[in-house]
Amino acid sequence: MDTAFDADLDGAVDAAPEALSRLAIRIIRSPKRRKTAAAKILPDCIEVRVPAGMKSDAEAEMVASLVARLERRRAAEASAVNLVERAAKLARRYGLQPPESVRWAEQNDRWASCTSARGTIRISTRLARVPSWVLDAVIIHELAHLTEPNHSPAFWELANRYPRQERASGFLEAMSTGHCDPCHTV
């Protein structure tokens, strides 16, 4: 089994936060902005500032992409999952090195990543809505990397302490094909 969660996976996963109410979008066309847009979540809407004078389809694409990103982050934050607590618990249960920090991150090309020298782990916000056993498998995969940076046999010995590791890998593979979020081109 050589499928790594942090291997590059083509195709974005639509992790749209169905359970959250959609916020209204307010577009502000700013003559001060040149090429980039910025978005923030306000209490009643998502405010997106775009450069004034863009072509409407380019503007729509820019807005959609930013909004999708914010919505995913919002879903991750709203999710009941406390990554720090969860990673600490899993590290204890499976005898793995606990991380220095673990947090949600906007990552389009991978499910998770870690910096083993610093002991930090980032989990893609696209995983905010997967079943808990799949998220656990990804966390454990990264915890194992804190000790074994490469996908060596020693690494798999640690990662596979979690019995559903291989099933989770299949789940993520299935998720990464067939679902394509058009707002996100990697």
Binding residues for Zn ion, per CB under 5 A? 4, 6
Nearer to Zn ion, 76 or 159 (CB): 159
Nearer to Zn ion, 133 or 156 (CB): 156
Nearer to Zn ion, 60 or 154 (CB): 154
The DSSP symbol for 39 reads E
Q: How many CB atoms lie within 10 A of CB 25?
A: 15
b/e sequence 99-130, b meaning 16+ C-beta within 10 Å: beebebeebbebbbbbebeeebbbbbbbbbbb
Give DSSP secondary structure letters for 43-73.
SSEEEEEEETT--HHHHHHHHHHHHHHHHHH
Q: How far is the CB of 85 from Zn ion (least distance, A)?
A: 23
Please compute Rg for the chain using Cα positions.
Answer: 18
Q: How far is the CB of 142 from Zn ion (least distance, A)?
A: 7
Q: How far is the CB of 83 from Zn ion (least distance, A)?
A: 17
Nearer to Zn ion, 6 or 181 (CB): 6
Nearer to Zn ion, 66 or 172 (CB): 172
Question: Which of 61, 149, 138 is closest to 107 using CA atoms?
Answer: 138
- Closest CB to Zn ion: residue number: 4
Q: How far is the CB of 122 from Zn ion (least distance, A)?
A: 13
Q: How far is the CB of 65 from Zn ion (least distance, A)?
A: 27
